[in-house]
A and B are shown apart, each in its own frame.
Chain A
Amino acid sequence: MTTDISQQIAGLDALELTSREQRGLPSRIWARVWPMLSAIILVLVIWELVVLSGWRPEYVLPGPITVLGDLWNRLGDGDFYNAVAVTMRRAITGFAVAVLVGLVVGAAVSRVRPLRAAFGSLITGLQTMPSIAWFPLAILLFKLSESAILFVVVLGAAPSIANGLIAGVDYTPPILLRAGHILGLRRLALYRHVILPASLPSFLSGLKQGWAFAWRSLMAGELLVIIANQTSIGEQLDNARELSDAPGLLATMIVILVIGIVVDMCFGAADNALRRRWGLDQRVG
C-alpha cells in the first residue's frame, strides 16, 4: 500500500519537474538553425524571383548572388572593419549614456509624484517623436560632428528606457512592497532590493526598445552627418549611393540588418537568463 502511494507521489513530482529530453548537440543546433535557414532561403528566392521578373534592370536591383559576392569582397577589406568599429563604438557609447540618463530620469519620475505629473507624458511624447526630427537642431548645436549623432542617439533611446523602468515600477506587486516594508527596507534599500529586481522584465524590454531606437537614430545620423575622413556604416551606405553602386548599397543594408539581429539575440539571451532565474523557464519537451 505504502509503495503504491509513494509511486503516485513520485508521478506527481515528475509532472512538476521539467523533463529535459537529452538530445545530442548537433541535433539541438539543427533544430534551432533549420527554421532560420529556410526563412533566409525563402527571402533569397523571392528576391531572386523579383530580379528575374525584370521589374527593374539588374544594375538598379541586383540579385542575391551579386550582392552576396560584393558583401564577401567587403568582408576581406580592412576599411569595412574600421567602418563597423566606428559605428559600433558610436552605438555603444550612445546606448550607455542613454541607459544612464534613462535610469536616473526613470527612477526620479517613477517615485516622485510631482515629477511624474510634470514629465510623465513628456517622456512618452519624446518617445514617439521621430529622432530624425532632432537632426537639424543637433547639427546647429554641435556642427557636423560625432556629438550631434550622440545627442540624437541618446534622445532617441533614453525615453524608452525611462518608460520601461517607470512601467516596471508601476507593476511591482504591492505584496512585495509590503513584504519589503516589513523586512525594514526603506527608500534606497527598498529600491535596490525590491523595486528594481521586480521591475527587471519591463526594464529589460525598455532596454531592448531603447536599443532599437538608438540603432535607428544612429543610422539616420550617419547618413545625414558625414564627417570628413571618418568612415562608418552610414557613410559607406551614402558612398554606395553616390557611386550608384546598387550591390554595395544592398550589401551594406544586409550588414546593418545582421548587426541588428545579433544585438537582438544578445537581448534575447539576457531575457532567457532572467526567466531562468525567475523560474519561468518551463520548456515542455
Chain B
Amino acid sequence: MRVRRLRGMTAALAVVAVTALAAACGGGGDGGTASGGGDTAKTEVRLGFFPNITHSTALVGVKKGFFAKALGSGATLKTATFNAGPAATEAIFSDAIDATYIGPNPAINAWSKSKGQAIKIVAGSASGGVYLVVKPGINGPADLKGKKIATPQLGNTQDVAIRYWLQEKGLKTDTKGGGDVSIVPQDNAQTLQTFATGDIDGAWVPEPFASRMVQESKGKILVTEADLWPDKQFVITHLIVRQQFLKEHPDLVKKLIEAHVESNAYINSDPAGAKEAINAELQDLSGKPLKTELLDSAFKNITFTNDPIASSLVTSADHAVKVGLLDPVDLNGIYDLKILNEVLAAKGQQAVNDK
C-alpha cells in the first residue's frame, strides 16, 4: 500500500515539476514583450539585420539615426545582427526580435513552416547584386559540364537560381553534388578561400562576395542574375515583421517603415554619404570596414528600392519547386504593403504592388 502511495506522489511531483518548468521558462522567455498586452505602451522595437552590403538600408538607417528619429521618444530601437537567414528566422519564431531584414528564401520558408502565421513582408529593400563568377577559361554554360560551382546554402535563393538556370540550359544537377554540374553549397567565406585555391570553378553568390572573387582571385562574371529577370529587378533583401507585432503595434511598424523609406531615399540621393555610413556601421559591428574599391563596385551593382518586387519572389518559389527543393507553397497573403503604401502616398510617391 505504501509503495503505491509513494508512486502516486512521485507522479504528482513530476507533473508539478513539469508545470513549474514550463512556467519558469515562460517567464524568462517573454521578458519585455508581455508587459504591453495590446496597448501601445511598448517601449522597445527589436530590429534584426545582417552586417552585409545587401542590408544597406538597415546599416544606413541605424548609423544615420533614421530609425531612432522615427520612433521618437515613445520607443527605443534595439538592434540584433545575424549571419544568415535561418538564424534570423529562428529569432523571429522564438519572439527574440520583432522585425528583420532578410532574403527572399528564408522569408518563404518562415511563411510555409508557420502555415502563414509567423511573418509578413512589409517592404522591399534591395534588388540585384548577384553574379555567377567563374574561372577565366569558362565561357558559357557548355563549359560548366563536370565543374564544381558553389552556392551559399542548399535551397537558398542563389542555390535555386543556378539550378534552375542550368536546368534551362539542359544541364542536370542534384542535391548531393552530382549530375552534369556539381553544386556545392558552402559558406561564402569558404567560397572565397576555395575559389582562390582552385578547389571550385565558380560560384553563384551575392555581393560583396562576387566583387571580391573578381578582385582578389581574378574571377570572371559569366552571368548577371539581373539579366535573367524582367526589368532586371529581383528581390535580394526585404523587411519582414512578426505578425503578432504587426497586429499589436501597427503604429510602431509604420514608424519603422517611415524610417526605412527615408533611409532608402537617402541612399539613392547621396550614394557617397551612404557608403560612408555603411562602412562606419560595418566597422562598428565587425571591427573592419570594406575596402573602398570593393564597396564601390558592390554598391553600384545593387538597387535600393521600397518595392519588394513581389513577382520575383513568386517566380523564385516556382523555380524552387521545379528543381525539387521546395514543396509547393501558397504565397498568397505573405505581403502586407498597406502601411508602406500609406507612407509612400504621404510622400507623394507611387504605390507598390503585391503581385
Q: Does A76 contact B (CB under 8 A)?
A: no
CA distance A244 to B90 in the complex (A): 6
Binds A, one of B106-114, B131-139, B289-297, B332-340: B106-114
CA distance A50 to B177 in the complex (A): 42
Rounded to whole Å, the gap between the CB of A53 and the closest CB of chain B is 9
B37 surroundings in chain A (CB, below 8 A): none
Q: Does A245 contact B (CB under 8 A)?
A: yes
Residues of A within 8 A of B (CB-CB), count: 15
Q: Does A55 contact B (CB under 8 A)?
A: yes
List CB contacts (< 8 Å) of A159-199 with chain B. none
Please tell me which one of the listed residues A50, A244, A246 contacts residue B86 in the complex, with CB atoms under 8 A apart.
A244
Q: Does B89 contact A (CB under 8 A)?
A: yes
Please tell me which one of the listed residues A46, A50, A59 contacts residue B118 in the complex, with CB atoms under 8 A apart.
A59
* Inter-subunit contact A59/B117 (CB<8 Å): yes
* Inter-subunit contact B90/A241 (CB<8 Å): yes
CA distance A246 to B109 in the complex (A): 12
* Inter-subunit contact A228/B186 (CB<8 Å): yes
List CB contacts (< 8 Å) of B7-56 with chain A. 15, 18, 22, 26
CA distance A244 to B186 in the complex (A): 19
* Inter-subunit contact A55/B26 (CB<8 Å): yes
* Inter-subunit contact A242/B86 (CB<8 Å): yes
List CB contacts (< 8 Å) of B130-179 with chain A. 153, 155, 176-177
Q: Does B94 contact A (CB under 8 A)?
A: yes
**Cβ-closest chain A residue relative to B25:** A55
List CB contacts (< 8 Å) of B102-132 with chain A. 109-110, 113-115, 117-118
CA distance A229 to B177 in the complex (A): 8
* Inter-subunit contact B113/A243 (CB<8 Å): yes
Q: Does A60 contact B (CB under 8 A)?
A: yes
Rounded to whole Å, the gap between the CB of A63 and the closest CB of chain B is 13
Contact string, A34-68, partner B, CB cutoff 8 A, digits 1/0? 00000000000010001000010111100000000
**Cβ-closest chain A residue relative to B176:** A229
* Inter-subunit contact B86/A243 (CB<8 Å): yes
B115 surroundings in chain A (CB, below 8 A): 59
* Inter-subunit contact A244/B184 (CB<8 Å): no
A245 surroundings in chain B (CB, below 8 A): 113
List CB contacts (< 8 Å) of A185-229 with chain B. 228-229
Q: Does B82 contact A (CB under 8 A)?
A: no
Give the secondary structure class of A's interface. Answer: loop
List CB contacts (< 8 Å) of A89-141 with chain B. none
**Cβ-closest chain B residue relative to A42:** B11
CA distance A246 to B93 in the complex (A): 10
**Cβ-closest chain A residue relative to B244:** A57
A244 surroundings in chain B (CB, below 8 A): 86, 89-90, 93, 109-110, 113-114
Given contacts A57-B118, A243-B113, A244-B109, contact A228 B184 (CB under 8 A): yes
* Inter-subunit contact A59/B93 (CB<8 Å): yes
* Inter-subunit contact A243/B114 (CB<8 Å): no
Given contacts A46-B18, A244-B90, contact A59 B113 (CB under 8 A): yes
CA distance A60 to B22 in the complex (A): 15
Given contacts A59-B115, A242-B86, contact A46 B93 (CB under 8 A): no
CA distance A57 to B86 in the complex (A): 18
A58 surroundings in chain B (CB, below 8 A): 117
**Cβ-closest chain A residue relative to B94:** A60
CA distance A245 to B176 in the complex (A): 21
B86 surroundings in chain A (CB, below 8 A): 241-244
A60 surroundings in chain B (CB, below 8 A): 93-94
Rounded to whole Å, the gap between the CB of A232 and the closest CB of chain B is 14
Rounded to whole Å, the gap between the CB of A268 and the closest CB of chain B is 21
Contact string, A237-269, partner B, CB cutoff 8 A, digits 1/0? 000011111100000000000000000000000
Given contacts A50-B22, A55-B22, A228-B186, 15 further A-B contacts (CB under 8 A): A46-B15, A46-B18, A57-B114, A57-B118, A59-B114, A59-B118, A60-B93, A229-B176, A241-B86, A242-B86, A242-B153, A243-B155, A244-B90, A244-B93, A246-B113
11 A-B pairs whose Cβ atoms sit less than 8 Å apart in the complex: A46-B15, A50-B22, A55-B26, A57-B118, A229-B176, A241-B90, A242-B153, A243-B86, A243-B113, A244-B86, A244-B90
What residues of chain A have their CB less than 8 Å away from a CB belonging to chain B?
46, 50, 55, 57-60, 228-229, 241-246
Q: What are the 7 A-B residue pairs with the smallest beta carbon separation, nearest first?
A: A59-B114, A242-B86, A244-B89, A244-B113, A60-B93, A229-B177, A244-B93
